[in-house]
Structure 1
Amino acid sequence: MNKILTTDRRRFCQMGLAAAGLATTTGLLGQNGFADQPSGDGDKPWLRKTLKIGMIKLKDGSLEDKFRLAKEAGFEGVELNAPTVNVEEANAASKATGLIIDGTVGKYHWQTRHTDPDPAVRKEAMKLLKKGIENTAAVGGRTMLLVPGHGKDGTDQEVYDRAVAAIEEALPLAERNLVSIVIENVWNDFCYDHEGGNDQTADRLAKFVDEFRSIWVGVQFDIGNHWKYGDPAEWIHTLGRRIHKLDIKGFSRAEGKFTKITEGDINWPSVEKALHDIKFTGWLAAEVSGGGLERLKEINDHLEESLHCSKSISSVG
């Protein structure tokens, strides 16, 4: 029997069993695949607000103090940095404050890249990715954000193949730990043309995710990152159920720079409609300049102003 067909069939069966198990025993699968939203709970907000741990600025404060500050500012979750999570401290802080650790961000992937030409560097990157997945699971997180590589590391094909190989190697561990590897669309010369125009599509990113034929690989779609290169609403329609989670920031095409969420020229009504069209519900992570309580409250307000996060699931379904 053809080896590729055998592998595909095995992966297909694994996916089916995993999806069935999740849907019936844990309730993790939402409309978009990994909404982490209780099924049928129509009164809950359609978007759950989270933020990056580095945005919480608190001089001399403990992790619990930071969690408490984010909670007071109106956030439901937080993303920690992997693979350097202090698991015991993080779990204690979450339990004490009620702030959910919904996922992590791989903080090594710019310096130690999975597409580096040096096999030794790629090997080290794999160790960090696997440790990050284990960190994420240990604190109850469901996603680990990954920038899979950089276009400067070789030809387009070399970079693509190395990125695929890395995720393929880590995927079994992610599946066992119920952690989704989520690819962020960033300015890394990968799956888009960095010197190209503003009419680019998400087709190449969708193809990359589809390489893995797994519910455990998806996209943490950053709404602001590619407004310079394409329409985020169109990207959302193309990526569809591949989107497991959202990042949000502002960007001004007119000025060519990132902005506060509500101060750029992104068409937020079109983005919101696109998300409703693909039936997305789940986590929305702020990724902007942070600060103390007042700044975090401002960010929380901007999330509400841009995408009306608190509307109920039933009202947008």
Structure 2
Amino acid sequence: MSTSNRRQFIADLAMIGAASMISQSLFAAKPSSIKIAYSAITWGGKDLNAMQDIASLGFKGIQLRANAYDNYKTKVQELKDLLSQHHLTLAMFSSGNVEVDPARISSNVDYHVAHASFVKALGGDALQLTNSLRKNNQAPTKDELKALAKVMNQIGEQTADLGVQTTYHNHMHQWGETPEEVDILMQETNPKFVKMLLDVAHYHQGGGVPAKAVEQYKDRLFALHIKDVKSPLADKPNDPKAYKFVELGQGNVDLPAVFKALEKIKFNRWAVVELDGVPEPNRTPLESATISKTYLNDKLKQKI
């Protein structure tokens, strides 16, 4: 091979290699910007165990519940130090129910604002609101939903002054069970003061399509509960209302579609894995969390 041909051959190889690298970079999977946390609810109030187990699996965020306020409101620094020792961020705080009884609204607002101060002191920036007003499976009227939205706006305005975002958490057996009820609440709440925490399992069981909700509420979506639900149940095969929450990938929620929608809207906040309780008596909360982590890593390609 002549010197000139050899030079051309080497140049051609270099071009092929460069083209291959460009091609690989174009088609390589982009790292997800979604932050994955885990909720302490599965541990039934044993928050120290929850922090240890959640951190051991590599999660960087945790959701705590109102019981943490009861236990640590006079020793906030102790809890903050525990979170730091486990390299955990307070991703979300479950603040509890919202009241619409006029006689109880003022004290209820104060209750949630106190939680917001607690969240801020722990380095968090968000709390979630729910309600337990659905009685005997009676659906709320639009006026009742408006009343709930009004109180949530009051709470959200005051927590915003503290630098804490109020979010609404849709929930079965509560006002906001169905997609239609959720939509009214989103329309009636102030977008600045009340964002959405979309629980994909509750939304699915309530008759909605979570992936569609992600896109529909993309401008209000502050956080999610990544959760799975199984229905019908083996012992109640003909009862579509019978359900139980299970580890990720063990139920009926189309979680791949949810994450595809999150990537589409470029969601970059906390998605909190939640499991209300261990669904099988022979499992521990850590074992259930491990099942969900494996599904996130292997099936959804989400890094913790």
Please report the TM-score for the alignment, with normalisation by the length of structure 1: 0.69
Structure 1 residues 58, 271: CA separation in 2 closer, same or farther (over 3 Å shift)? Answer: closer
Equivalent position of 2:204 in the other structure: 227
Equivalent position of 1:279 in the other structure: 266
- Aligned residue for 1:218, secondary structure, equals strand
The equivalent position to 2:112 in structure 1, one of 126, 129, 140, is 129
Equivalent position of 1:250 in the other structure: 228
- Summarize the alignment of residues 184-223 of structure 1 with structure 2, pairs less than 5 Å apart: 184-193=169-178, 202=179, 204-223=181-200
Structure 1 residues 173, 122: CA separation in 2 closer, same or farther (over 3 Å shift)? Answer: closer
Shift of 1:180: 1.1
Question: Does residue 1:159 correspond to 2:144, yes or no?
Answer: yes
Shift of 1:157: 3.6
Whole-Å separation in 1 of the counterparts to 2:215 and 2:132: 24
Whole-Å separation in 2 of the counterparts to 1:187 and 1:278: 26
The structure with more radius of gyration: 2
Q: Is the 8 A contact 1:78 1:99 kept in 2?
A: yes
Shift of 1:176: 1.6
Shift of 1:248: 1.8
Whole-Å separation in 1 of the counterparts to 2:139 and 2:260: 38
Partner letter of residue 274 of structure 2? E
Equivalent position of 2:89 in the other structure: 100
Whole-Å separation in 1 of the counterparts to 2:291 and 2:44: 14
Whole-Å separation in 2 of the counterparts to 1:149 and 1:165: 16
Whole-Å separation in 1 of the counterparts to 2:57 and 2:159: 32
The equivalent position to 1:240 in structure 2, one of 218, 227, 236, is 218
Equivalent position of 1:15 in the other structure: none
Partner letter of residue 48 of structure 1? K
Whole-Å separation in 2 of the counterparts to 1:156 and 1:67: 40
Structure 1 residues 147, 166: CA separation in 2 closer, same or farther (over 3 Å shift)? Answer: same
- Aligned residue for 1:240, secondary structure, equals coil
- Aligned residue for 1:262, secondary structure, equals coil
Structure 1 residues 46, 306: CA separation in 2 closer, same or farther (over 3 Å shift)? Answer: farther
Q: Is the 8 A contact 1:223 1:246 kept in 2?
A: yes
Equivalent position of 1:304 in the other structure: 297
Whole-Å separation in 2 of the counterparts to 1:292 and 1:252: 18
Q: Is the 8 A contact 2:37 2:270 kept in 1?
A: yes
Q: Is the 8 A contact 1:245 1:282 kept in 2?
A: yes
- Aligned residue for 2:253, secondary structure, equals coil
Q: Is the 8 A contact 2:247 2:289 kept in 1?
A: no
Partner letter of residue 246 of structure 1? L
Equivalent position of 2:56 in the other structure: 72
Shift of 1:158: 4.1
Whole-Å separation in 2 of the counterparts to 1:308 and 1:280: 16
- Aligned residue for 2:217, secondary structure, equals helix
Q: Is the 8 A contact 1:81 1:104 kept in 2?
A: yes
- Aligned residue for 1:79, secondary structure, equals strand
The structure whose RCO (Cα within 8 Å, separation 6+) is larger is 1
Provide structure 2 residue ranges, at least 5 long, that are not aligned to the other structure.
1-28, 234-241, 279-283
Shift of 1:262: 0.8
Whole-Å separation in 2 of the counterparts to 1:191 and 1:53: 23
Whole-Å separation in 1 of the counterparts to 2:33 and 2:197: 16
How many residues in Structure 1 have an aligned counterpart in Structure 2? 253
The equivalent position to 1:263 in structure 2, one of 241, 245, 250, is 250
Equivalent position of 2:77 in the other structure: 88
- Aligned residue for 1:251, secondary structure, equals strand
Partner letter of residue 226 of structure 2? I
Percent of paired sites with the same residue: 17
Q: Is the 8 A contact 2:225 2:272 kept in 1?
A: yes
Deviations 1:241-286 (A, max 9, x none): 2111110221234434223221112222222222222221221112
Equivalent position of 1:168 in the other structure: 153
The equivalent position to 1:179 in structure 2, one of 151, 164, 170, is 164
Whole-Å separation in 2 of the counterparts to 1:304 and 1:93: 27
Deviations 1:131-160 (A, max 9, x none): 111111111111101115624499514422
